Amino acid sequence: MTVNYYLWLIPAAPLLGALINGLLSYFYSKRERGPSEALVSFVGCVSPLFSFVVAAAVFLHLQGLDPSHRMLQQWLSHWIMAGTLKVDFSLWIDQLSMVMVLVVTGVGTIIHFYSIGYMHGDRGYARYFSYLNLFMFSMLTLVMGQNLPLLFVGWEGVGLCSYLLIGFWYRDIEKAAAGKKAFIVNRIGDFAFLLGMFLLFATTSRIGNPTLDVPMMRSMVEQHPDLFRPMATAACLLLFAGACGKSAQIPLYVWLPDAMAGPTPVSALIHAATMVTAGVYMVARMSFLYQLSPTAMAVVALVGAATAIFAASIGVCQRDIKKVLAYSTVSQLGYMFMGVGVGAYAAGIFHLTTHAFFKACLFLGAGSVIHGLGGEQDLLKMGGLRRSMKTTALTFLVAGLAISGVPPLAGFFSKDEILWGAFNASVGPAWFPPLLWGIGFVTAGVTAFYVFRAVLLAFFGGERLSPEAKAHAHESPAVMTVPLILLAAGSIVAGFMNVPGVLGGSGAFHHFLEPVFSGASAHSADAIGTGLETAGGAAGAADHGLERLFMVLSILAGVAGILIAYLLYIRRPEAPARIAAKARGLYNLVFHKYYVDEAYERAVVRPGYALSDRVFFRVVDAGIIEGVVNGVGTTVRLIGAAVRLVQTGVVRTYALFMLIGFLYVLYRLLW
């Protein structure tokens, strides 16, 4: 079979779509009206759909192969050839990138269709779809790139598209600034990522096989782990710093909540389902390297856990429905990092997949609400919307239940698996895994609470709508509700891909991904997470008992969160304000997001600004650079003024000079 010859079609289709819509947008930019929306939507939606179909075909083909040989590669061309550095344009699909490609194209296509309704009538309609398709192309390059530089191209490409789409309504200065913030914060992480890449290249060069090719590096690491061990921690931490930027982890998470300035489908696609998960993907991709450094893994797990609880606590007090979801995304990404950090890579990727469904559904539901209310985003000015927006309310509720970990919805399986993996982790000191589990457990409860706070405030209880929003309130058109239904359905069934052994399932998702992390399984709780390898034997039975207990506990945490939200926001709607008044200091601290933005402003932005102004502008630019430039000018002018004295304008003087020159030539010739 020659399926691998067609791999290029997957990223190429959205690129073509981006080009067509970009040109359309360009040629219509001077006209009063944009290009026909029907044409733009057709091009914009068919291209990711096409990618999805190709990806599905590739998946079917992959399923037919022997599990240990499930890898397709396509070499497209040479790219960089400089000295010993050789980088090619080559794509590959293995089980891990297959999962990512299916998530990106599948959820991506649904969101593209949703955008038809959401962006209807916007002057930048073609530009929007062009950016969105460009994003799909970059994201697919990221997950399909066979070497780190190509992955990095996609990495930067999605960053660019994120910037373009956050600042999509660039006439609003705040939105443009949010785009800039995202870009700059990401740049910090990218710098570390680049350094990590250089370090890896230096190491492979020293070993005598200079390469940045991922499968090749993997086999090198597996053959000579000791050669890589000394630099593994540094390289992993540098790469992880890059992941922190892209996937919004502490300390670089601050851009993601601001990124909600973009259109809501963008928040769903880029800032919830796909781009922000790139960091998790990258860590899983490089798992062979992370296995060598327990320190780096512990750092990843710790940062993930800290981010999970920290962001979740902020989510509790947010009033903007999109901000709640944004902090929820940061928190859930923390979960994923906790999973990959303890070596439960498949669990992390599984959570990534289920999260893509329910979080995209939540965001699109929020978008539907905002759309229906004519731009209202404040939760306190909603309420009772279930009557006017039945489908949206229902799908939002389903996704909310999924993220809260209520069985048998998707979030329950994936979240539980990460928690179980964390508890069984073999990183760090003995108290470390239970600590991780505890943080995850509390976060699960908090998550359920704030998600249901949003659900109840928006869709239940009494109406608090402003008069104009009330007049406007309506259910969104079918082109928006059908994607919601699809994603809600995904949130329900996605979990069944990976029913753990302890509940009588087969852990199919785990088995599919297993070969990718084969080097990891010895070290990690991955295999235990499915409960497969411990089946049989007394120890296995005990583990099963414990695992079931933990499941019940985490269900209880979720249900408790939901119940508290119900009590506070439906039974006693006046209670939250009273509690807030009682714990005013704490409430203010959380409401203002722990003043992290303000602290960064003081500690980084203003000193940076001062440094730029006082040193780089006044000294380096105005002093040194301008001094040199002006100095050259002044010198030339002075020389000119001196030489000018010779030019008297008197013919006889010139004749005298000629004579002197002539005599000199004569002198040199004769003597």
Partner 1 sequence: MGEITIHHYLYLSAILFFIGVYGVLFRRNLIVMFMSIELMLNAVNLSFITFARYSSTMDGHVIAFFVMALAAAEAGVGLAILVMVFRNRTTVQADDLTLMRD
* Residue given tokens 């089980």 in the structure block: 95
Binding partner 1 (rule: CB under 8 A), the pick from 85, 541, 659, 665 is 659
**Window 600-639: contact mask with partner 1 (x via CB under 8 A):** ----------------------------------------
Q: Which two tokens stand for residue 111?
A: 């969101």
Q: Is 404 helix (H, G, I), strand (E, B) or coil?
A: coil
Please identify, using beta-carbon distances, which residue of 478 and 659 lies nearer to partner 1: 659
Under the criterion CB under 8 A, does residue 656 sit at the interface with partner 1?
Answer: yes
650 sits near partner 1 (criterion: CB under 8 A): yes
The reply on whether position 652 binds partner 1 by CB under 8 A is yes
| Selected range binding partner 1 among 202-210, 288-296, 509-517, 655-663, rule: CB under 8 A | 655-663
3-state secondary structure 7-63: CCHHHHHHHHHHHHHHHHHHHCCCCCCCCCHHHHHHHHHHHHHHHHHHHHHHHHHHH
Q: Work out how close the CB of 639 gets to partner 1 at its nearest, in angstroms, rounded to a whole number.
A: 18
Which DSSP helix (H) or strand (E) runs through 626?
A: helix 626-644
Cβ-based nearer residue to partner 1, 39 or 666: 666
Q: Which of 430, 651, 669, 670 binds partner 1 (CB under 8 A)?
A: 651
Can you say how many angstroms the Cα of residue 428 is from the centroid of all Cα atoms in its chain?
Answer: 27
Minimum distance, C-beta of residue 659 to partner 1, in the bound complex (Å) = 6
Taking Cα atoms as reference points, which of 203, 193, 187 lies closest to residue 152? Answer: 193
Q: Nearest CA to 360 among 426, 423, 285, 269?
A: 269
Q: Is 381 exposed, middle or buried (0-12, 13-18, 19+ CB in 10 A)?
A: middle
List 202, 625, 628, 655, residue binding partner 1 (CB under 8 A): 655
Task: State how far the alpha carbon of 645 is from the alpha carbons of 631, 641, 657, in Å.
Answer: 22, 7, 13
Is residue 666 involved in binding partner 1 (CB under 8 A)? Answer: no
* Angle of CA points 154, 97, 437, to nearest 5°: 100
Q: Which one of 23-31, 122-130, 533-541, 649-657 is the stretch in contact with partner 1 (CB under 8 A)?
A: 649-657
Q: Judged by CB, which is closer to partner 1: 1, or 651? A: 651
Q: Is 669 in the site for partner 1 (CB under 8 A)?
A: no
How many CA within 13 A on the CB side of residue 173? 0
DSSP 556-587: HHHHHHHHHHHIIIII-TTHHHHHHHHTHHHH
Residue nearer to partner 1 on the CB measure, 538 or 650: 650
Binding span for partner 1 by CB under 8 A among 57-65, 315-323, 616-624, 650-658: 650-658
Instruction: Provide the minimum distance between the beta carbon of 649 and partner 1 in the complex, in angstroms, as a whole number.
Output: 3
Measured from the CB of residue 661, what is the shortest distance to partner 1 in angstroms? Answer: 13
Residue 74, helix vs strand vs coil: strand
Q: Is 665 in the site for partner 1 (CB under 8 A)?
A: no
Report the distance separating Cα 282 and Cα 573, nearest Å: 44
Stretch near partner 1 under the rule CB under 8 A, chosen from 77-85, 394-402, 420-428, 642-650:
642-650
Taking CB under 8 A as the binding criterion, the range among 112-120, 187-195, 565-573, 647-655 that sits at the site for partner 1 is 647-655
Contacts for 420 with CB less than 8 Å, ≥ 6 apart = 344, 347, 525, 528, 529, 547, 550
Q: Does 664 bind partner 1 (CB under 8 A)?
A: no
Residue owning tokens 């994603």: 487
d(CA 328, CA 601): 23
User: Which CB atom, from 581 or from 645, has the smaller least distance to partner 1?
Assistant: 645
Helices 148-166 and 125-144 cross at an angle (nearest 10°) of 160
Closest by CA to 332, choosing from 357, 305, 314, is 305
Q: Which is nearer to partner 1, 575 or 655 (CB)?
A: 655
> Which residues in 168-197 contact partner 1 (CB under 8 A)?
none
Q: Considering the complex, state which of residue 84 and residue 648 has its C-beta at the smaller distance from partner 1.
A: 648
Binding mask 335-354 for partner 1 (x = CB under 8 A): --------------------
Q: Which is nearer to partner 1, 429 or 649 (CB)?
A: 649
Whose Cβ is closer to partner 1: residue 623's or residue 661's?
661
Question: What does the block give as tokens for 245?
Answer: 């930027």
Q: Which of 110, 103, 132, 42 lies closest to 365, judged by CA?
A: 110
Residue 225: how many CB atoms within 10 A of its CB?
15
CB of 640: closest distance to partner 1 in angstroms?
Answer: 14
Q: Which is nearer to partner 1, 537 or 649 (CB)?
A: 649
Q: By three-state DSSP, how is residue 82 classified? A: strand
Q: How far apart are CA 220 and CA 542, in angstroms?
A: 39
- The structure tokens listed for 21 are 């819509």
Residue (563 or 655) nearer to partner 1, CB: 655
Both structure tokens of 403: 């993220």
CB nearer partner 1, residue 30 or residue 644? 644
Shortest approach of partner 1 to residue 644 CB, angstroms? 9
Residues at the site binding partner 1, with contacts judged by CB under 8 A: 647-652, 655-656, 659
